[in-house]
Structure 1
Amino acid sequence: MLTAVDHVQLAAPPGSEDRLRAYYVDVLGMTEVPKPPVLAARGGCWFRAGAVQLHLGIESDFRPARKAHPGLRVTGIETRLRARGATVTWDDKLPGHRRFYSHDPVGNRLEFLEPLP
């Protein structure tokens, strides 16, 4: 029986860890989670905010997915993203939500959803 999503894995190009840390920690406000040593040797980095975990794994022939993305439930993060230089693209097609998309520094698409009262 499924009980929860443990994490979402995204890919990233080799050598991008510092840019990913700057974005996921400084822009999104997540905390970096230390990887177990055997997995840390592969590169990449893991992040957490509350129950949300995103794992960024290194892929030598990385190309960001054009459609696939995590949908992140948020509160008031749009201003923070814009203030830190992120591009925000609004989408009003999901009833009951304020929704927009943005991209991390390596081109991964992220969906941000804020339920309306």
Structure 2
Amino acid sequence: MHSFYGIDHVQLAGPAGCEDEARRFFGDILSMEEIEKPEALKRNGGVWFRCGSNQVHIGIDKNFVPAKKAHPAIHVQNLAALKERIVSHGIHVQDDELLPGSDRFYVDDPFGNRLELLEWRE
């Protein structure tokens, strides 16, 4: 019998040459730590980040189209502070109050991929 540990990483796509912009958004603005990619995968481009005990990978897609509906939901501690930080960089957030017991909002990464950021109320 098998069992699941959880999700190891989520891969989002970006256009060729997007690494610096991904570093600015995921690293500088969201404060995710960049993870060095394995040597064998560096030639593919893209960049990886630590997100709690999981990872967010930005992969290069030569036929890139942003994900507008499918999205990762990232659990955040002190969501209000992160929201303030994102807005202070001139990035639009979309508030959502439809999930009972949570505070959450959506934001697009620089490539148009949808991200959900949420914090559960106690």
* TM-score > 0.5, shorter chain as reference: yes
Following TM superposition, the consecutive aligned residue runs of length 4 or more in structure 1 with deviations greater than 2 angstroms are: none
Q: Tell me if the contact between 1:72 and 1:111 (Cα under 8 Å) persists in the aligned partners.
A: yes
CA distance in 2: counterparts of 1:37 and 1:52, whole angstroms: 20
**1:92 aligned onto 2:97:** yes
Secondary structure at the residue paired with 1:113? strand
Among 104, 119, 122, the alignment partner of 1:114 is: 119
Q: What displacement does 1:52 show?
A: 2.7
Determine which of 51, 54, 62 is the counterpart of 2:53. Answer: 51
Specify the SS of the correspondent of 1:9: strand
Matching residue within 14, 21, 24 for 2:23: 21
Report percent identity of matched pairs.
Answer: 47
**Which residue identity is paired with 1:67?**
K
Unpaired segments ≥5 residues, structure 2: none
Asked if 2 retains the 8 angstrom alpha-carbon contact of 1:64 and 1:108, the reply is yes
State how many pairs are aligned: 117
1:43-98 CA deviation, whole Å, 9 max, x = no partner? Answer: 00000032131001000000001200000011231111111221110011000001
Q: What is the RMSD computed on CA atoms of the aligned residues? A: 0.9
1:61 aligned residue: 63
